[in-house]
Amino acid sequence: MAEPMGFYTDTTVCIGCKACEVACKEWNQLPSTNGGLNTLSGDSYDNTRRLDGIHWRHVKFIEQFTEDRKDGRWLLMSDVCKHCVHAACLEVCPTGAIVRTEFDTVVIQSDACNGCRDCISACPFGVIETNPVSGIAQKCTLCYDRLQSGMEPACSKACPTQSIQFGTISDLRNRAQKRVEQLHQAGEKRAYLYGADEKMLGGLNSFYLLVDKPEVYGLPPDPKMPTRNLASASWFSVLGAVLVGLMGVINFRNRGARLEDREEQP
């Protein structure tokens, strides 16, 4: 197996140019609009609005301005699949379509997926959606085809500010840590890394440098695996079956016995 590969996205240097979105669409041959339907969001410069089956990169525009708009800042973040080490989508996928590659990335095999959409509800980040053309669940593949040919993913290649950096996870974590230290020394004490260690779903192979709370970027502060509920939900269901079974047995057996008793009495 090759060394684990991924993205480190430094949101402080993103300029919102959307070159990553365009490069992703070009390389992966994703349609620019959804069947000719292009709806403006009415919200900032963001008309992509969210990650879905035909948008595998999404530059978020978060405007933080005072009421009078005299003071404020832009938070820009190029969002993508996190390629979690403990991947919720892969965990629940009932067809085996979602696999972990030799690069430790998570890929949906388009010839195996049947569009059940269990992975969509499982992903804690809301990354996956159905591609209306193919009818299957689709998301970033971390350009698996390019990786196999020794190339870097299209988005990071196109990024003009090195906000999106591609490399081995160990190297990216070192780079990211140095950047956080640099920002702290420069007075930006809010800078921290999101998902760069094993605590979050075993580690996100696409992690972020953020300067505000995760929720502000639309990221869950505490993403969890869907199977956390499996044991408890199953045992409660067994309890339900036992209770209903008992109610059935009591109602059908007791009454029967009583009738027989009555018939036996002289």
3-state secondary structure of 44: coil
Residue number with CB closer to other proteins (74 or 157): 74
Q: Shortest approach of other proteins to residue 56 CB, angstroms?
A: 14
Residue identified by tokens 């949101």 is 11
Q: Which of 102, 112, 170, 178 binds other proteins (CB under 8 A)?
A: 112
71 to 100, contacts with other proteins by CB under 8 A?
A: 88, 91-97
3-state secondary structure of 140: coil
What's the DSSP call for residue 143? S
How far apart, in whole angstroms, are the C-alpha atoms of residue 104 and residue 144?
11
How far apart, in whole angstroms, are the C-alpha atoms of residue 26 and residue 32?
9
- Pattern of binders to other proteins over 230-249, x per CB under 8 A? x-xxx-xx-xxx-xxx-xxx
Q: Shortest approach of other proteins to residue 97 CB, angstroms?
A: 7
- Rule CB under 8 A: is residue 44 a binding residue for other proteins? no
Residue 260 gets the label, from left (phi > 0), alpha (psi -120 to 50) or beta, of alpha
- Rule CB under 8 A: is residue 41 a binding residue for other proteins? no
Q: Shortest approach of other proteins to residue 125 CB, angstroms?
A: 6
Q: Shortest approach of other proteins to residue 195 CB, angstroms?
A: 13
How far apart, in whole angstroms, are the C-alpha atoms of residue 211 and residue 77?
11
How far apart, in whole angstroms, are the C-alpha atoms of residue 237 and residue 163?
48
Residue number with CB closer to other proteins (41 or 161): 41
136: Cα within 13 Å, side-chain hemisphere: 15
- Rule CB under 8 A: is residue 204 a binding residue for other proteins? no
In 192-242, DSSP assigns E strands to 192-194, 206-210
Q: Shortest approach of other proteins to residue 251 CB, angstroms?
A: 4
What does the binding site for other proteins look like in residue numbers (CB under 8 A)? 50, 52, 88, 91-97, 109, 111-118, 120-130, 134-137, 213, 215-216, 218-224, 226-227, 229-230, 232-234, 236-237, 239-241, 243-245, 247-249, 251-253, 255-256, 259
